[in-house]
Amino acid sequence: MLFLLNKTQPDTIGLIKLLGGDVDKEVLLTQDAAFYATSSMQDQFHQAGIAHIYVAQDALETRAIERAPECQVVDYDRIVELVMEEHDQVVCI
Protein backbone atom coordinates (compact mmCIF):
# COMPACT_ATOMS: atom_id res chain seq x y z
CA MET A 1 0.00 0.00 0.00
CA LEU A 2 1.37 3.40 -0.98
CA PHE A 3 0.57 6.42 1.16
CA LEU A 4 0.77 9.68 -0.77
CA LEU A 5 1.41 12.58 1.58
CA ASN A 6 1.28 16.19 0.38
CA LYS A 7 1.25 18.09 3.66
CA THR A 8 2.33 17.81 7.26
CA GLN A 9 -0.40 17.27 9.82
CA PRO A 10 -0.78 16.00 13.37
CA ASP A 11 -0.77 12.21 13.78
CA THR A 12 0.22 11.34 10.23
CA ILE A 13 2.03 8.26 11.54
CA GLY A 14 -1.06 7.20 13.49
CA LEU A 15 -3.22 7.47 10.37
CA ILE A 16 -0.78 5.37 8.38
CA LYS A 17 -0.77 2.69 11.10
CA LEU A 18 -4.57 2.70 11.31
CA LEU A 19 -5.24 2.63 7.58
CA GLY A 20 -2.32 0.38 6.62
CA GLY A 21 -2.80 -2.30 9.23
CA ASP A 22 -0.45 -5.23 8.71
CA VAL A 23 0.11 -4.79 4.97
CA ASP A 24 3.40 -3.65 3.46
CA LYS A 25 3.49 0.13 3.54
CA GLU A 26 5.44 2.67 1.52
CA VAL A 27 5.27 6.46 1.65
CA LEU A 28 5.61 9.02 -1.13
CA LEU A 29 6.29 12.53 0.14
CA THR A 30 5.29 15.43 -2.11
CA GLN A 31 4.81 19.17 -1.65
CA ASP A 32 5.04 20.22 2.04
CA ALA A 33 5.18 16.60 3.20
CA ALA A 34 8.79 16.65 1.98
CA PHE A 35 9.58 18.11 5.41
CA TYR A 36 9.07 14.53 6.68
CA ALA A 37 12.16 13.47 4.69
CA THR A 38 14.45 14.70 7.46
CA SER A 39 16.43 12.38 9.71
CA SER A 40 14.27 13.19 12.74
CA MET A 41 11.21 11.49 11.18
CA GLN A 42 12.81 8.28 9.96
CA ASP A 43 12.55 6.31 13.21
CA GLN A 44 8.84 7.10 13.44
CA PHE A 45 8.24 5.89 9.89
CA HIS A 46 10.17 2.68 10.48
CA GLN A 47 8.34 1.99 13.77
CA ALA A 48 5.08 2.31 11.84
CA GLY A 49 6.21 -0.51 9.56
CA ILE A 50 6.95 1.64 6.53
CA ALA A 51 9.35 -0.24 4.29
CA HIS A 52 10.26 2.48 1.78
CA ILE A 53 10.14 6.26 1.83
CA TYR A 54 10.17 8.19 -1.44
CA VAL A 55 10.37 11.97 -1.74
CA ALA A 56 9.66 14.08 -4.81
CA GLN A 57 12.79 15.73 -6.14
CA ASP A 58 11.08 19.04 -6.91
CA ALA A 59 9.63 19.25 -3.39
CA LEU A 60 13.10 18.85 -1.87
CA GLU A 61 14.68 21.39 -4.18
CA THR A 62 11.92 23.99 -3.80
CA ARG A 63 12.07 23.81 -0.01
CA ALA A 64 15.87 23.36 0.26
CA ILE A 65 15.42 20.35 2.55
CA GLU A 66 18.35 18.16 3.50
CA ARG A 67 16.90 14.66 3.25
CA ALA A 68 17.75 11.64 5.32
CA PRO A 69 19.75 8.99 3.45
CA GLU A 70 16.89 6.50 3.93
CA CYS A 71 14.62 8.57 1.67
CA GLN A 72 14.85 7.79 -2.02
CA VAL A 73 14.54 10.85 -4.27
CA VAL A 74 12.16 10.31 -7.21
CA ASP A 75 11.27 12.29 -10.31
CA TYR A 76 7.85 12.55 -11.96
CA ASP A 77 8.37 9.46 -14.12
CA ARG A 78 9.13 7.36 -11.05
CA ILE A 79 6.15 8.85 -9.20
CA VAL A 80 3.88 7.74 -12.05
CA GLU A 81 5.33 4.22 -11.86
CA LEU A 82 4.79 4.05 -8.11
CA VAL A 83 1.21 5.31 -8.25
CA MET A 84 -0.05 3.75 -11.48
CA GLU A 85 1.92 0.53 -11.88
CA GLU A 86 3.51 -0.74 -8.68
CA HIS A 87 0.74 -0.37 -6.11
CA ASP A 88 -2.81 -1.67 -6.15
CA GLN A 89 -3.81 0.67 -3.33
CA VAL A 90 -2.84 4.32 -3.02
CA VAL A 91 -4.10 6.30 -0.04
CA CYS A 92 -3.82 10.09 -0.04
CA ILE A 93 -3.46 11.69 3.37
> Mind listing the pLDDT tens digit for each residue in 15-51?
999 999 999 999 999 999 999 999 989 999 999 999 9
pLDDT digits (tens, 9 = 90+) for 72-92: 999 999 999 999 999 999 999
* CATH code, domain with 12: 3.40.1260.10
pLDDT of residue 65: 92
pLDDT of residue 82: 98
Give the distance, in angstroms, between the CA of residue 11 and the centroid of all CA atoms in the same chain.
14
Structural domains counted in the chain? 1
Q: How many residues does the chain have?
A: 93
Query: pTM score > 0.75 for this model?
Result: yes
Which residues form the domain of 51? Answer: 2-92
Cα(70)–Cα(43) distance, integer angstroms: 10
Give CA separation, 64 vs 3, 27, 35, 61, in Å: 23, 20, 10, 5
